[in-house]
């Protein structure tokens, strides 16, 4: 009895410790990948921020923006959702969070929505549930290039221009810090432009812009026709990079807790093992002692 128990425990210890080795290795790998992605993300974040700020500053000058890109100029019937998830699993609730948020938003949308999936996890989920995936991009997000994002951006803008979709929403993960990521959903098109009254007096920067005469060349329309796809491209590219950073951070966390759990289990198991071993030794001693006692009694 005791011997088989010990063998069982030994087998479990072996399997748990090999799991621990694997999760630990994966943790190290994601930590390295996270560092790389983080670098990439930080570098681009700075200028994305600048670029989006500069663009929204121009959009503030609402009189100059072609109407069709502004909110409220047409009724919203079809919405396009761009869902950014990862290619691989084992990253905790990273994908589940994004998918949950997407589910809520899609349900809120009574009409047919167009889905664009970046990353296979989101695609598989919605495909299984009979949703129509308009298009997909399936590649590890750390290898994504700007020109590929541009293709998606152009497609989205074309659909918007044609009137196939009236709203574009991007659902992805925002990076707070290494331990915390949260899902964000951003409406990319049409633009929400704040009315002038909504700007407080502290936003002198904006008011300044407003009162300025600005020179556009070749023309306001052409500048905007250039900037609108750029804005979408940049937002998309930035979000994918951010999501990749989050994915690695989430995986590192998940693997860390898996490793911790495995270690805890190992210490429990070795306790059980020692107990079982001690029990079997005690048993043997009892057998020996009672055997000799029995002989003594016979004599």
Partner 1 sequence: MANTIRLEVITPSRMFYRGNVELVVVRTATGEEGFMAGHVWSRKLIDIGPLRIREEGGSMKYAVIAGGYLDVSDTIIMIYTDAAEWDYEIDLALAVDQKAAAEKYLKEHRQLPDEDPNIVAVKKGLARSKARIHMAEKRDRRRNMN
Q: How far apart are CA 193 and CA 154, in angstroms?
A: 22
User: What stretch of H or E contains 116?
Assistant: strand 113-118
Joined together, the tokens standing for residue 109 give: 């949308």
Site size for partner 1 (CB under 8 A): 23
The CB-of-239 to partner 1 minimum distance in angstroms stands at: 13
Is 206 a binder of partner 1 (CB under 8 A)? no
The CB-of-174 to partner 1 minimum distance in angstroms stands at: 20
Is 278 a binder of partner 1 (CB under 8 A)? no
Q: How far apart are CA 82 and CA 169, in angstroms?
A: 6
Segments in 82-141 forming alpha helices (H): 94-108, 120-128
Is 214 a binder of partner 1 (CB under 8 A)? yes
β-strands 113-118, 133-137: how paired? Answer: parallel
Per-residue mark of binding to partner 1, 138-177 (x: CB under 8 A):
--------x-------------------------------
Per-residue mark of binding to partner 1, 39-58 (x: CB under 8 A):
----xx-xx--xx--x---x
The CB-of-198 to partner 1 minimum distance in angstroms stands at: 22
Is 215 a binder of partner 1 (CB under 8 A)? yes
Cis omega (within 30 of 0) on the bond before 190? yes
- CA dist 120 → 86, 88, 123, 127 (Å): 7, 8, 5, 10
Asked whether 41 and 241 are in contact (CB, 8 A), the reply is yes
Based on CB atoms, which residue is closest to partner 1, 107 or 213? 213
- CA dist 111 → 73, 107, 265 (Å): 19, 9, 50
Is 212 a binder of partner 1 (CB under 8 A)? yes
Binding to partner 1 (CB under 8 A) within 228-247 occurs at 230, 234, 237
Q: How far apart are CA 144 and CA 137, in angstroms?
A: 10
Is 226 a binder of partner 1 (CB under 8 A)? yes
Looking at 13-21, 116-124, 215-223, 247-255, which segment touches partner 1 (CB under 8 A)?
215-223
Is 298 a binder of partner 1 (CB under 8 A)? no
Joined together, the tokens standing for residue 119 give: 């990353």
Contact footprint for partner 1 (CB under 8 A): 43-44, 46-47, 50-51, 54, 58, 146, 212-218, 222-223, 226-227, 230, 234, 237
């Amino acid at each position: 009895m005791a011997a088989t128990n010990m063998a069982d425990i030994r087998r479990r210890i072996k399997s748990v410790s090999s799991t621990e080795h694997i999760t630990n290795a994966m943790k190290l790998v994601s930590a390295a990948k996270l560092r790389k992605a983080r670098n990439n993300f930080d570098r681009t974040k700075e200028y994305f921020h600048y670029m989006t700020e500069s663009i929204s500053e121009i959009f503030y000058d609402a009189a100059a923006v072609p109407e069709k890109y502004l909110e409220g100029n047409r009724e919203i019937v079809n919405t396009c959702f761009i869902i950014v998830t990862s290619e691989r699993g084992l990253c905790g609730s990273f994908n589940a969070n994004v998918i949950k948020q997407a589910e809520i938003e899609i349900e809120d949308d009574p009409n047919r929505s167009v889905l664009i999936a970046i990353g296979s996890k989101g695609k598989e989920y919605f495909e299984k549930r009979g949703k129509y995936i308009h298009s997909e991009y399936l590649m590890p997000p750390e290898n994504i290039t700007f020109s590929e994002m541009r293709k998606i951006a152009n497609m989205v803008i074309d659909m918007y221009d044609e009137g196939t979709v009236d709203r574009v929403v991007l659902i992805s993960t925002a990076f707070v810090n290494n331990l915390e990521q949260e899902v964000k959903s951003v409406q990319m098109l049409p633009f929400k432009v704040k009315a002038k009254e909504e700007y407080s007096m502290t936003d002198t920067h904006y008011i300044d812009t407003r009162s300025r005469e600005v020179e556009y060349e070749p023309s306001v329309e052409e500048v905007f026709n250039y900037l609108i796809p750029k804005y979408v491209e940049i937002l998309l590219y930035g979000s994918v990079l951010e999501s990749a950073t989050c994915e690695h951070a989430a995986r590192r966390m998940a693997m860390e807790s898996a490793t911790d759990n495995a270690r805890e289990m190992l210490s429990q198991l070795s306790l059980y093992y020692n107990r079982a071993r001690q029990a079997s030794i005690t048993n043997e001693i009892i057998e020996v002692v009672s055997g000799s006692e029995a002989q003594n009694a016979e004599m």
